[in-house]
Structure 1
Amino acid sequence: MASTHNIGDLRLLAGIPQQATSTTYDVLVGADREPGTLTVSTAGDAGIVAVDLRVGKHGSALAALAEATATAVTLGLQHGAPPVAFTGKADRIGIQVVPADA
């Protein structure tokens, strides 16, 4: 399990835990409902430790935005931001999680 360090009011997660469980969801993004995948990695007491969002064709602006968004969320989570801090933002940029079996 990863250890945490407090620096002022900022809680830092010392690395991603060695063992994590990942779940992948099919998602639709934006007004054009572009299909993609959202992978959420969780690790025991640490909760959600990483996300990966893949949308659009490799090299496209949409793919770059999705990768940047996933990186920003992952870094926020690793530095102690609660997952709920990101949920409203996903709605505003048009990310809709769709069950894989729907």
Structure 2
Amino acid sequence: MKQCIQAVLLLAMLGFSASSYALNESEAEDMADLTAVFVYLKNDCGYQNLPDTQIRRALVFFAQQNRWDLSNYNSFNMKALGEDSYRDLSGIAIANDMKCKKLARDSLSLLAYVK
């Protein structure tokens, strides 16, 4: 959870984008979900070597690709959203190996864009 909080706080500090719309609740939840995926991969799937800086850049890249304006990022309780997302992800009733494999397949490619 400490890493999740750090990622969320650093993302808030890096909150910039070229879009014209402020972050809405659904987008904030999507950001929290993606953060939770990376934290889950690091904590529960053996990907401890994923660099936090690369994860932060991937989160910002994800927001920019979606044309999200992160200027109001701090208006959401991202810590609580991230914890809820992590708890939801942890509670998915499939084998952890399969869950890790699917999460890695669907999300690690994002890190390749921000090396």
TM-score (norm 1): 0.35
> Highest relative contact order (Cα 8 Å, sep 6+), 1 or 2?
2
TM norm structure 2: 0.32
- Structure having the higher strand fraction is 1
- Which structure has greater helix proportion? 2
